[in-house]
Amino acid sequence: MTSTRLTHLQSLEAESIEILREVAASFERPVMMYSIGKDSSVLLHLARKAFFPSKIPFPLLHVDTTFKFKEMIAFRDRTAEEYGFDLITHTNQDGVRDGINPFDHGSSRYTDIMKTAALRQALNAGRYDAAIGGARRDEEKSRAKERVFSHRNASHAWDPKNQRPELWRTFNTRLNPGESMRIFPISNWTELDVWTYIYDQNIPIVPLYFAKPRPVVERSGTLIMVDDERLPLEPGEAPRLETVRFRTLGCYPLTGAIRSDAADLPSIIMEMQASRTSEREGRLIDSDSVGSMEKKKQEGYF
């Protein structure tokens, strides 16, 4: 290497690696949230780089809401096997017992129980003092406000009006008993950065990101993929095959697909550049109300 200036992606990568190492060195029981989406794939790749030739020195945690796309679960297990990291999965068994689902209980109650409460359970059970997540500041307005090392009180709540100052790259990683930290190593990446990095580094991602004919139903303008028989069809409604893909992945009944022919990374990047909507548009849980993300985060959502 003769050039002394790092490219944009190189400096983003280095910044994230530094953050990941700081977590490993500063906390007793760190864990990395693994949501199986593109951001998690990037995070996993960065963690492998950060600690090479050592293995990733903390486990990966997947909160399984039981309504994830089947392809996501298959990808998760394949990836865990290929890279040999320590994978922990957690499901809120109370929710399973009560048969909580997004259809009968509404998206917000379902998310509260199967995602937010489940996450709290898992973090408490593992006594994790640091949880690494793949959120980015460009995703949403309240995320744009969050620190890289984001402090949580003993009930996992974020206090947005009272965040610790964060100077340079000198992170205050100290906690009192019961408190924890959420850490966002790819805070400063944009969606475009993520895609170009995936392309540049050839990082495997769930095939749902690529367009393919899939069975969908259209509900108030949103395309929902019929991933299994649990999705109740309305009278007269029948799944039809459409060529679609996903910009973000979550629970299949709450994730809108987009009509697209983009079947490879170049076409996805191309399509994204031309797009006039944000990636979160397809997420049904964020559009409930302005400020809903901030509220969820105060309750312990990632």
Rounded CA-CA distance 67/137 in Å is 26
**From 84, 161, 234, 236, residue interacting with another protein (rule: CB under 8 A):** 161
| DSSP-derived secondary structure for 83-115 | HT--EEEE--HHHHHTT--HHHHHHHHHHIIII
Considering the complex, state which of residue 55 and residue 230 has its C-beta at the smaller distance from another protein: 55
Q: Is 144 exposed, middle or buried (0-12, 13-18, 19+ CB in 10 A)?
A: exposed
177 binds another protein (CB under 8 A): no
Q: Give the number of other Cβ atoms within 10 Å of residue 77's Cβ.
A: 13
Indicate which single residue of 64, 239, 269, 299 sits in contact with another protein (rule: CB under 8 A): 269
C-alpha–C-alpha distance, residues 27 and 129, integer Å: 7
- Is 18 a binder of another protein (CB under 8 A)? yes
- Contact between 222 and another protein by CB under 8 A: the answer reads no
The CA distance from 194 to 192, in Å, is: 5
Task: Provide the token pair at 111.
Answer: 């998310």
Tell me the window of 30-38, 44-52, 110-118, 235-243 that interacts with another protein (CB under 8 A).
44-52
Interface with another protein, residue 144, by CB under 8 A: yes
Pairwise CA distance, residues 196 & 269, whole Å: 7
The single residue among 82, 170, 202, 236 that binds another protein, judged by CB under 8 A, is 170
127 binds another protein (CB under 8 A): no
Q: What's the distance, CA 191 to chain centroid?
A: 12
29-45 b/e with 16+ CB inside 10 Å = b? ebbbbbbbbbbbbbbbb
Nearest distance in Å: CB 144, another protein: 5
Tokens 């973090």 -> residue: 123
User: In the Cβ-directed half-sphere of 136, how many Cα atoms lie within 13 Å?
Assistant: 21
Give residue 170's identity as a one-letter amino acid code: T
How far is the C-alpha of 114 from the C-alpha of 48, rounded, in Å?
29
- Among the listed ranges 8-16, 63-71, 114-122, 223-231, the one in contact with another protein (CB under 8 A) is 8-16
Q: Is residue 7 a contact point for another protein (CB under 8 A)?
A: yes
User: Is 142 one of the binding residues for another protein (CB under 8 A)?
Assistant: yes
Is 153 among the residues that bind another protein (CB under 8 A)? no
Candidate segments 79-87, 156-164, 229-237, 251-259, binder of another protein by CB under 8 A = 156-164
Q: Nearest distance from residue 88's CB to another protein, in Å? A: 21
Of residues 165 and 235, the one with the C-beta less far from another protein:
165
14 binds another protein (CB under 8 A): yes
Nearest distance in Å: CB 197, another protein: 10
Encoded one letter per residue, x for contact with another protein by CB under 8 A and - for no contact, window 226-265 reads ----------------------------------------
Alpha-carbon distance of 197 to 88, in angstroms, equals: 26
Residue 212 near another protein by CB under 8 A: no
**Interacting residues toward another protein by CB under 8 A:** 1, 4-11, 13-14, 17-18, 21-22, 24-25, 48-55, 137-138, 140-145, 160-161, 163-170, 172, 174-176, 187-188, 190, 192, 196, 199-200, 266, 269-270, 273, 275-278, 281, 290-291, 294-295
